Chains A and B, each alone.
Chain A
């Protein structure tokens, strides 16, 4: 049945019932951020940004530039009203004494900043790579089975393990088995003849190119080629690869069925109650014992009173299941570039749980860091969060390489949907640690994007993390 709808254009503002004075200082109307004046100023800024490369882009949808900002202090931290810090709405929360005990978690759970010195270059220097490591060692099994066929395994095995466990798992398994069956264990190279047959069978040229590249760079390959293949084998392999592509093309997202393990338990469902009483859903993730990183627009909602009245944080939510204690937070942090200037480039903030919040130490936190452009472009980026187009409270994962990066954003074709704002965008390093490089904030037909962790972002996160009880 078709949905009946009607869209009418209205003059003036919407008819929401904003509280008379908003909620706290940032929610209160002020000359700089309310009414037509602010809108007009933004429109002007946007116009200028479109014609001046050196102009800092403002607001959603304006592409970030690779140049220095005109905002002189966009990363200046801003806090929700101080009096809310004493407000504790935690469900089942403990006393401060208990919190102190809780805060005495083993230091190893929250490692200190590594690879970072105060005199390191600013964010404009792509070589600076400050990193806060993940707080707990990931306990996944090491990836095996890649010896037999480097490039294809690199495509299939990670997907089979993480991306498409429910949808494509069977196909991937079969494909892997097939590849294992037709390529000798020691043979790491496909012959040109096989590549040509795959090409004729209609396999995506992009994948074939990767296979060719792998062949060219694999010094160990030698001449030990797979032999004994017949047309049926190659055709079957082509079909398997094609099936894999189809699954990815239809819907890259895979549901996370067990949210009680790393890294999923570090990702939180957010139910946000704006200052004007409106409700929103988003995602956040732990970067410290009591600090949850998210999008700026989750902790400061323009047009709805600014700092939210409260956010209910549910770690590792899985539909109706809440495997960890949930918390109601009322203390938030963001930066001037978002709170005052509404700039997409500064769209990040954190939720600070109350000091007596008894967060399970087993949850741990994500590491995060700043990395050069090419490094980000080379890595497979992953994200997981709580999209609103899926069953309520279910977590979904997806991963892909970035399309492009700017000085302050990362753009990708990773499928996301409303509700995933604030999701971590991470890569997995050689040691298996997950390092966050961006905070997912925007959906767009032209490519979804994250606020990139740059030096000033890193500095603020480090500060907030310490404020939230990190050692």
Chain B
């Protein structure tokens, strides 16, 4: 068994991974073309489409959006956790959605850019396996219906029950926001090479991904002050995902997509979180060893 699968196994998860050198063809793939559930990783295509629409003049990133107190999508962070009505610019909503995975901010952005536009953009970029089916609110509505509970606190507890987990359609790629590890690293490559939108917009997206606060997944695999890690996590019931880019001081930059599904149903899975970083590290070490060997 290879070292990456060993990491997944000892963390009690099954995992899919694609790691690619952004400036060359080298890659490491483990189930990289399998459809996977994106969970909050869908916020990456969303932030790309937001900036493309700004490039086209369809919207102004400084445009103000009212987020009333009574109309919040559930979630543990950002506007989802705040109590009072707020007015924020589109780009600050994008910041909250990327830095702390704010679901209310994501739904407000998606309402502005449109689900169809996100999917058209994905098709246009040549990512046919990546699709956004619903916003966060729509996803939760599906989960509540499948779990047979009426509020989010009950859902969090019900989701540790294996019988409920088996019924959740949002854990099957066919029924929810989906992609493949390889298509995610391709999208990241386009963002880092200024191909996904205008160079200014790509820089803005890279800035947002670099501001993500979570230290426990991808970032945990690279405990080096001189290595930059940008990313977007995805968390849902048994799923622990992250896609991102790791940049070394010698200019080496690597797009990473790791999607895991735990065998257990516990909500707190620190080993699964860490496995995302460890698996990415093994893949990148492998690519870097290869590169230096060839130089």
Same complex:
no
Chain A interface (Cβ within 8 Å of chain B)? none
Chain B interface (Cβ within 8 Å of chain A)? none
